[in-house]
Amino acid sequence: MKNALFVAVLSIAAVSAQAADRAHVQKTIELKDGSTVYIFKDGKMGMEDKLGRASYMAPGHVMETKDGKKIIMNGNEIWRVEELLHKDHKGS
Ligand SMILES: [Cu+2]
């Protein structure tokens, strides 16, 4: 009984942490090569490769979006992307 209640409280905490993290992502952009750029509210960016893994990209690197626009990598927030991706797996 006590254990079941404890698990329920833990999963509520996990859900609200995920919501808070999502809120820091302002925008995601798909790139021509199939990877995704996450733009956080502070303007910094992080990359997810086409296999869904957080990936490294040097700040200042020019990327081409799916619709042919060029964007410049600002920051390299690997750990923030990783956190988002891992939370997604746990949440399902
Ligand atoms: Cu990039």
Ligand 1 centre distance from Cα of residue 20 (Å): 23
Helix (H/G/I), strand (E/B), else coil: 37: strand
Ligand 1 centre distance from Cα of residue 41 (Å): 16
Fold for the domain defined by 2-91: Thrombin, subunit H (2.40.10)
pLDDT tier, 9 (very low <50, low <70, confident <90, very high otherwise): low
41 against 14, higher pLDDT = 41
Q: Indicate the average pLDDT of the chain.
A: 83
Q: In sequence order, what are the beta bridge partners of 37? A: 29, 47
Ligand 1 centre distance from Cα of residue 77 (Å): 10
Ligand 1 centre distance from Cα of residue 35 (Å): 9
Q: Taking the model in full, what pTM does it have? A: 0.70
Cα–Cα distance, 45 to 57 (Å, whole number): 10
Q: Is the pLDDT of residue 2 over 70?
A: no
Q: Is 12 left (phi over 0), alpha (psi -120 to 50) or beta?
A: alpha
Cα–Cα distance, 20 to 50 (Å, whole number): 25
Q: Is the pLDDT of residue 17 over 60?
A: no
pLDDT tens figures, 32-62: 999 999 999 999 999 999 999 999 999 999 9
Contact between 46 and 63 (Cβ < 8 Å): no
